Structure 1
Amino acid sequence: MRKKGLYLLLLALVTALLLTGCGEQTGKQEGKGTGKVGEQVNYKIIGIDPGAGLMKATDKALQEYELKDWELVEGSSAAMTAALKKAYDKKEPIIVTGWTPHWMFAKFDLKYLKDPKGIFGEAEAIHTVVRKGLKNDQPSAYAFLDKFYWEPSDMESVMMAVAEGKEPARAAAEWVAKNEAKVAKWVEGIKPVNNKKITLAYVAWDSEIASTYVVANVLEQKLGYQVELSQVEAGPMWAGVAGGDVDGMVAAWLPTTHADYYKKFEGKFEDLGPNLEGTKLGLVVPKYMEIDSIEDLK
């Protein structure tokens, strides 16, 4: 009986030690700055379309923070948010390229990873850019585009409606109907036209879909224009406006995201200034992940 008692005591001690070791290992895997977060996400950062300035900034961040084992996965805005939702629903770790305004911050509890090296820059603004000569050719459209300005909360409400399943045109129309006072200021004193055609380009970011469809709705319903929308990548969008094939866009992220395009086509377009201010770019994770900075990815 004494031997059996000693055996049971020894077994209990061994089990306790094993459990303690496992607990410590789990804590290390979930802790901050341990390097294990890479294993949890297979050393992958889920990105968007390869031509985006956000992707270029992320590539630079991987170099500057010496994250040699990490891979930036190219895709699209829709693919990124789908991956985020899938991981979030299961409370799994994930790192994505993100920006504000975006509906995902209203739907999910997220945070930006700190960027001590300042790779992603300070807050940006979204500008309205039009082709040369638009003021003379289409004075009413030019006047409205020059006045167009809204808040991040406005944009996010349209984005959320689209994310919940509404067609962009319908979401935009409903927002315009609910914000008549703001829209009235945009078109105040502007003479309507009789079914003139105007073309707007945009990139397939949720934010730019929201703003472009709202602008298109106002041009059509309040000012009498026939609007043609052209969804393209960032490079063709800028080239289209600079070359005069497109009348304008409300999707120019400056001074960082679209800096290369701005410099490349400078002098061939007219910058009407910000239509929205207070944007942000960076790497985004769910708040349940115990990580706070890009440096924690090492």
Structure 2
Amino acid sequence: MNQYWKKASIVTGCSLFLVAAACGSDDADGDTEEGSVAEEMDYTITGIDPGAGIMESAEQAFEDYDLDEWELQSSSEAAMIAELEEAIDNEEPIVVTGWGPHWKFNSHDLKFLDDPDLSFGEPEDIHKLAREGLQEDSPEAYEILDNFEWTVEDMEEIMDDLNEGVDEIEAAQNWIDENEDQVSGWTESVDDVEGETIELVHTDWIDLLASVNVMALVLEDIGYDVEMTLVEASHMYTAIANGDADAMTGAWLPRTHGTYYEQIEDEVDDLGPHLEGKAAIGLVVPEYMDIDSIEDLEVED
């Protein structure tokens, strides 16, 4: 079982889940009145941007678990987090789409709901992709990207700072300063460069902000001029495939970004994961919630 289901600060798999926060009301016999909880939530799951991979997986979960009475409501990450935190503050039931690594798991006692039908897939990796020809044009950058790997705990240190309002560059630099030996392992065999430009593309997912800012600072330290371009998830892949950007650190594979990757996989260099088997998406609930599986959301006839 993915240990994100047990303790949010420990992740052992890369996958997508729905996040749910709810508190059941008990009858005189101590049994949870699941119907009343669902009714209180108006049978609504709060999602993120329409078209995101996690939303497609949520729709699949609706089908797999016969959640015909439920509705998936599109919003944004910020709106979803705001609704989640308001519900937690009031100990009210809520279900949202969620993923990890993410700072919300360190800030709140949350758990993923079990997904026995694997609607959200198996654990995933987060890969680094480079444009074709980068190894020949910028071998130093290519080697550093190829060497780059870290742990969930590393990433969470930066994400916690970001959630506290620390500037992205400052948060990344703080982590680098505290992990010099680890960073030197990525760069020790690389010579300095001068005046070369590298463009990294990323989305505004908090895990990508952590990895791309660390990589930008490391590349700058050996002499690169680094440009970072914020785009939508699908555009990261087309930019690398078209040669409009040099590299990215946020390819969630094989499922979450699988549709994007399959369209361009023969036109990019996959440098493998920097976070292996450590990301998750699906349904998540606070610990005060009485349900443990997506199956518990099914409405009995």
Q: TM-score, normalised by structure 2?
A: 0.86
Q: What's the secondary structure of 1:95's corresponding residue?
A: strand
Distance 1:26 1:173, change over 3 A: closer
What are the superposed Cα offsets for residues 123-166 of structure 1, whole Å, 9 maximum, x if unpaired? Answer: 11100011111001111110100000000000011001000111
Q: What do you get for the CA RMSD once the two structures are aligned?
A: 1.8
Q: What's the secondary structure of 2:26's corresponding residue?
A: helix
Q: Which residue of 2 aligns with 1:92?
A: 92
Q: Which residue of 2 aligns with 1:101?
A: 101
Distance 1:75 1:245 in 2: 30
Q: Which residue of 1 aligns with 2:189?
A: 189
Distance 2:59 2:83 in 1: 20
Which structure has more helix as a fraction of its residues?
1
**Contact 1:77–1:204, Cα closer than 8 Å, also in 2:** no
Q: What's the secondary structure of 2:288's corresponding residue?
A: coil
Distance 1:32 1:260, change over 3 A: farther
Q: TM-score, normalised by structure 1?
A: 0.87
What are the superposed Cα offsets for residues 41-93 of structure 1, whole Å, 9 maximum, x if unpaired? Answer: 22221222223211111111112212122222222222222222222122221
**Contact 1:93–1:286, Cα closer than 8 Å, also in 2:** no
Q: What's the secondary structure of 1:239's corresponding residue?
A: helix
Distance 2:139 2:284 in 1: 41
Percent pairwise identity:
47
Q: Which residue of 2 aligns with 1:36?
A: 36
Distance 1:111 1:281 in 2: 11
**Contact 1:33–1:296, Cα closer than 8 Å, also in 2:** no
Report how many aligned residue pairs link the two structures: 273
Query: How far off is 1:33 after superposition?
Result: 7.4
Residue 46 of structure 2 aligns with an amino acid whose one-letter code is: I
Structure number, greater radius of gyration: 1
**Contact 1:202–1:251, Cα closer than 8 Å, also in 2:** yes
Q: Which residue of 2 aligns with 1:11?
A: none
Distance 1:100 1:227 in 2: 27
Q: Which residue of 1 aligns with 2:174?
A: 174
Summarize the alignment of residues 1-298 of structure 1 with structure 2, pairs less than 5 Å apart. Answer: 26-27=25-26, 32=32, 34-220=34-220, 222-277=221-276, 278-298=278-298
Structure 2: 5+ residue stretches without partners: 1-23
**Contact 1:113–1:283, Cα closer than 8 Å, also in 2:** yes
Residue 268 of structure 2 aligns with an amino acid whose one-letter code is: F
